[in-house]
Structure formats: C-alpha cells, structure tokens
Amino acid sequence: MHHVTLDQWSRRQSPLHRLDPRSKIVALLVLLVVVGTANRQVAWLCGGLWVLLGATALIAHLPLRAMLIRACVVLPFTGVFAAVSWLAGDPGRGAALVMKSYVSAFAVLILVSTTALPALLRGFERLGAPRFLLMVAQFLYRYLFVISEEAQHMRKAAQARGASAGGLAGGLAGNAERFSAAAGALAVLFARSYHRAEQIHRAMLSRSFPGYFRPLMELHYHPADLLFVMLGVLLPVLLRVWIERLS
C-alpha cells in the first residue's frame, strides 16, 4: 500500500490544517496574482513572500527542508527557459521566471500539504467549480495508484518474459515489433481500466450511490478563517506596494 508524502503531511494537526479549505484557496489565489502580475523588483518581492511562506509552513508543522526540496520540481522546466532567456540577452527576465515559478509552486505546495484532497476539492466545489469535474478528479486520484501499480505489474511481467530494460519486448525484436508490443500492452491496460470502472460502478450502485459524493464533513467558517483570509490578502499586497514604493 502506497502513501504519498503529501497525504501524510495533509493529515497532520495544526492551526493551518484546521482552517476552512475555502479560505486557504482564496489566500493562495491572491498570493499567486500578486506574484504573477509583478514585473518590477521581483527579487525583493519573491524574497519577502518566501520568508512569509516559510513562516506559514513552520506554523503548519511542516518539514521546511523537505518542502523546499519538493518545490524544486519546477526548476528543471523553468531552468531551461531561464537559460534561453539568458542566451537571448535578457538574464533579468530569466531570473524572474525562476523566482516567480518557485515561489508560486511553494505556495501551492503549502495549500495541498495542509489540506486533504477531498476537503480541497470540496472547497473548490463550494467556490463554484463544476461538481462533475471535481468528482472525476477525485476518482482519478483514488485510482491513480491502483492503475499505475497495474501498469508496473504488466511491465514486470513483460520483463520476466524476456523484454530488455530498454523496451517492453526487447531482445532480438526490432523497433517496430517492440512498438506494437507496447501498443498492445497499453490497449490491455485500457481494457482492464474500463472493466474496473464498470465493477466500481456496480459496487457503488449496490451501496445506493445518489449521483454525488455525500460529504462526510461539512465545511465550517470560523473567526480564525476570517483572520487568516485578511492576513493572507493584506500581507502579500502590502508587501508588494511597500517594495514598489521603496524603489
């Protein structure tokens, strides 16, 4: 049984974990807009926000170092573009790209590691996102690991039948054979996923599925949420206004 690190983090206890997901989503969107629209003094702004986010992560009892490393996921992508910008004679823009994308990813990471995914999606639903789409997303996440494990088993089985590490059916077979073998494997995975969905649906019907997920917990808006939203909106905005005033 696999558990993603994020799932473990999002089940911890802290003042931030207890907040209503809606208030965290609103604060995140404000912060992202503040970062996304910035084009002057980006280094100072990102530095200030980074300190702010780091403090938030500490309040939420999250492992700061592991989170900083995890947010580096964006760097390989943005790094390539920063290098291209550098080559095109605009190193400032390249550096701004890296900083903005890193701070944004760190902020999103704090949201998802303080909110369990069902609660998060329910927050989005209450903020007006289409329910059907969110239900599909939730099913997707639930079966992501099941289907991926199935794909891994199939890959292992293919290797046991003599496929080399390079492809699905390797050895003496040419590229064309290996290609069609991989296509066949994907088709089998497709068929198995399809039938699994049918079985899931029958199981859901037998438990009288009403057509939507019954929420196990209701969202409650507390005074702490109001305080958090006010801080989450005011601090980044004022920080940016202050930095742009100074320059």
Residues 40-69 binding other proteins (CB under 8 A) are none
Nearer to other proteins, 188 or 222 (CB): 188
Contact 74, 102 (CB under 8 A): yes
Tokens 């926000």 identify what position? Answer: 49
Q: Which of 95, 105, 116, 219 binds other proteins (CB under 8 A)?
A: 105
**Local structure of residue 91 (DSSP, 8 states):** H
Region near other proteins per CB under 8 A, out of 47-55, 57-65, 214-222, 233-241:
233-241
* Binding of residue 4 to other proteins (CB under 8 A): yes
- Cα separation, 47 vs 236, in Å, equals 11
SS3 211: coil
Closest by Cα among 197, 203, 116 to 150: 197
Cα dihedral sign, 114-104-120-118: negative
Write out the binding residues for other proteins, residues 189-208 only, by CB under 8 A: 189-191, 193-194, 196-198, 200-201, 204
Write out the binding residues for other proteins, residues 173-192 only, by CB under 8 A: 175, 178-180, 182-191
Q: Which of 49, 62, 110, 168 binds other proteins (CB under 8 A)?
A: 168
Nearer to other proteins, 174 or 223 (CB): 174
* Binding of residue 240 to other proteins (CB under 8 A): yes
- Cα separation, 79 vs 70, in Å, equals 16
